[in-house]
Each structure stands twice: as structure tokens, then as C-alpha cells.
Structure 1
Amino acid sequence: MSFPLGPFPVSERLRFRLPSSNDAAFYHQLMNEPDYIRFIADHGIKTEEDAANYIKNKTLARFAAHGVGLWILDLKPSLTPVGVCGLVVRKELKYPDLGFAFLEDHRGKGFGREAGQSVLDFVTRELKLRTLCAITHPENVRSANLLKKLGFEPDGQRHLAEIGTTSDYYEWKLRYVESGLA
């Protein structure tokens, strides 16, 4: 599954953009926050050089392979990176996976909901997708609540070899398509 690279989602307070090696300090900070390690993964990012390699070999490789990935979210107008949000295409999942993570100082301010809704609008308008999925750590109540606010519905759990753990699984379906109005 692949999509054309660009355009990107848009939102009122956040700018979506591709990551670059210049974002290594941001990635290093984000990926070493306790909640990121607990609820997403410990990718072993111990230095900014590790982060730069991760950006090149994992994040940008996903964009190259699939046309989508986790965009950097810059706060407007300062253009300070505050998080990531986008789509992860996983071999083990039928649909693209909505993913997001924010620096601790920028959680609880509505950025997750704004970014998630912007991605949902983008995928329906630009990518013409009708269904997405999302996975969360079973103890990540905040992310589960955000997914439900965005219209995702719980659908059991999935064990993914790629991440080596069992996650709660959610699906989002474009409502008017299911109602026969499209």
C-alpha cells in the first residue's frame, strides 16, 4: 500500500512537515520521554546521532516506501516541534495505522485531537481512504480516549510481531460510506 508523497494535512495551530536530520534533537527528546518508552517503544535512541539515523532509516524510509508516515508537528507561528502524527503502514494490519506522540509539555492542550482530525480529513479528501486503524498500549487510557473522541471504535486486541507486544486495536470508518450515502 502506497500513496503519493504530498500534499500534507493542515490544521489551525499546527504545521505538518516531513522530518529531517535537523530534527534529531527533537526526536531524541520525544523518544526518551517516560510515556513514549512505556506506551510506544524504547527504540534505543541514546544520542542525537541515534535519532538522526532513526529519522533516515525508519521514518523517512516509511515515507519513501508508502508516501505517508509520521509527520513532524510544528506549533504555529513559532514552528517549534511539539509532536508527530500521521499514518504507519504495517504489514500485519489491513489498514493504515493512525499514530501520534507529543512532548509532555504539549499534552492536554487539544493538539492530539486537532492533529488526529486533520489526518482524518486528509485521508478522506486526499487519499480517499474509508477505513483506518489504530493501536495503543492497553494501559494508555489517554490515547484510547482520544481515539474514541476521533470516532475510532474498539475492536479487541492484536499481537503484532513487528512491535513484539499485544495492543488494543481500534477502527475508524468513514460514516457516510457505511450508510450507503457515498
Structure 2
Amino acid sequence: MKKINNLETERLTIRAISTEDAEFILELYNSPKFIEFIGDRNIKNMEDAANYIIQKFLPQYEKLGFGNYLITRKSDGKKIGAVGIFEREGLDVHDIGFSFLPEFEGNCYGFESASKLLKTVIQEFTLKKISAITTKTNFSSQKLIEKLGLKFQKMVTLPDDDVELLYYEISIEAI
């Protein structure tokens, strides 16, 4: 099976997340904006973070050949965020998502990393559509999703959740 392991852009390296990244996942997933806009994943310590990687990220990567990726800045090796394309319960279309530590927002790292991953997955795999979801109040995420070319389709609610989300989609022919 094909797998996307490592990608590069002018300023960033993008690689599959591993258990070695548990400390970063602990920090990222407990940042205030992550909890507000994405949700509390109940990752409270390093063991929780490592288990989350093992249970959530690695199986999708093995099944699909792609999944969640760590974003590192080339200039100083700093881990700044994550980007991924996922199978998500309640969605029929693979979903692109991204998150950054607050101090690295607003530098176009989101567009740079997400567009690189999106183009690579489209070239390497036979996906017909990609989706994205976000909250009504996450305006920076909405802006990035639209900049990536996805168009708003409808409101959705995922299983075991009561929050209405904006659902975006793009057909691969449009890219």
C-alpha cells in the first residue's frame, strides 16, 4: 500500500505523527483554541497523548496510507502544528483538518501545509472529494478552508455531539 510519510514546503516539513510526538500532542490538544473549536479529547498527560496517537492516528495511517501529520518549521525545527486528512465518523467524505499552537497562527502555515497535503493525497490516491468541518465561530478556519477551495455545503452534526458544524466540500476535478 502507498503511504505518505514525509512532505516538504519552502518553510515546513510535514511528517506522519508518531508516539515520539506525544509531548507536542499533549500541548497542542490542550491549547485553549483547540479545546474551544475542536473539542476536549481528554488528553491530560503523556500517557494519554501516546495512547491517543496509537488508537486514533496510527490505525488510520495504516488503513489509508495517510492521516495526521506533524508540522515543523524548517528555520528552527520548532513543532508548530498538525494537519491531516481523516476518515471521520458521521462523514461520507475524507476530512481535512489542521491545528496550530497559538503563537504560530497567522503566518500562512495552515495554507502552506494543508494545500501541500491536499495536493499530494489527490495525486497519490483515488479520492473523489475532500471535506472540512468547523464551528460557526471559528472564522480563521472558515477562511483557510475557503482559501483551499472548499465550498460551504450545509450544516452537520457528528455522532455523539450536539454542536452544529459548517460542512465544506471540494470535488477533485475542481483542483
Q: TM-score, normalised by structure 1?
A: 0.88
With 30-39 and 72-81 compared, the bigger mean Cα shift is at 72-81
Q: One-letter code of the match for 2:136? A: P
Deviation at 1:15, TM superposition (A): 0.9
Separation (CA, whole Å) in 1 of partners of 2:20 and 2:114: 24
Q: One-letter code of the match for 1:46? A: K
Q: How does 1:169-180 map to 2 (within 5 A)?
A: 169-176=167-174
Q: Could you tell me which residue of structure 2 aligns to residue 120 of structure 1? A: 118
Contact 1:36–1:101 under 8 Å retained in 2:
yes
Q: Give the match's secondary structure for 1:73.
A: strand
Separation (CA, whole Å) in 2 of partners of 1:119 and 1:49: 28
Separation (CA, whole Å) in 2 of partners of 1:14 and 1:164: 35
Match 2:145 to one of 130, 144, 147: 147
Deviation at 1:64, TM superposition (A): 1.9
Separation (CA, whole Å) in 2 of partners of 1:8 and 1:94: 26
Separation (CA, whole Å) in 2 of partners of 1:144 and 1:128: 26
Distance 1:130 1:83, change over 3 A: same
Separation (CA, whole Å) in 2 of partners of 1:56 and 1:22: 11
Q: Could you tell me which residue of structure 1 aligns to residue 79 of structure 2? A: 81
Distance 1:176 1:101, change over 3 A: closer
Separation (CA, whole Å) in 2 of partners of 1:130 and 1:114: 22
Match 2:23 to one of 19, 22, 25: 25
Match 1:97 to one of 85, 95, 98: 95
Q: Any unmatched runs of 5+ in structure 1?
A: 178-182
Q: Could you tell me which residue of structure 1 aligns to residue 32 of structure 2? A: 34
Question: Which runs of 4 or more aligned residues in structure 1 lie more than 4 Å from their structure 2 counterparts after TM superposition?
Answer: none
Contact 1:8–1:122 under 8 Å retained in 2:
no
Q: Could you tell me which residue of structure 2 aligns to residue 106 of structure 1? A: 104
Q: Any unmatched runs of 5+ in structure 2?
A: none
Separation (CA, whole Å) in 1 of partners of 2:172 and 2:29: 32
1:54-106 C-alpha deviation (Å, 9 max, x unpaired):
11111112212222211111111433211110201124222110010011111
Separation (CA, whole Å) in 2 of partners of 1:55 and 1:169: 25
Match 1:50 to one of 48, 51, 64: 48
Counting aligned pairs with the same residue, the percent is 33
Q: One-letter code of the match for 1:33? A: S
Q: One-letter code of the match for 1:85? A: V
Q: Provide the aligned C-alpha RMSD in A.
A: 1.8
Contact 2:5–2:15 under 8 Å retained in 1:
no
Separation (CA, whole Å) in 2 of partners of 1:82 and 1:68: 20
Separation (CA, whole Å) in 1 of partners of 2:122 and 2:60: 20
Q: Give the match's secondary structure for 1:50.
A: helix
Separation (CA, whole Å) in 1 of partners of 2:71 and 2:88: 22
Q: Give the match's secondary structure for 2:164.
A: strand
How many equivalent pairs are there?
Answer: 175
Distance 1:90 1:50, change over 3 A: same
Contact 2:68–2:84 under 8 Å retained in 1:
yes
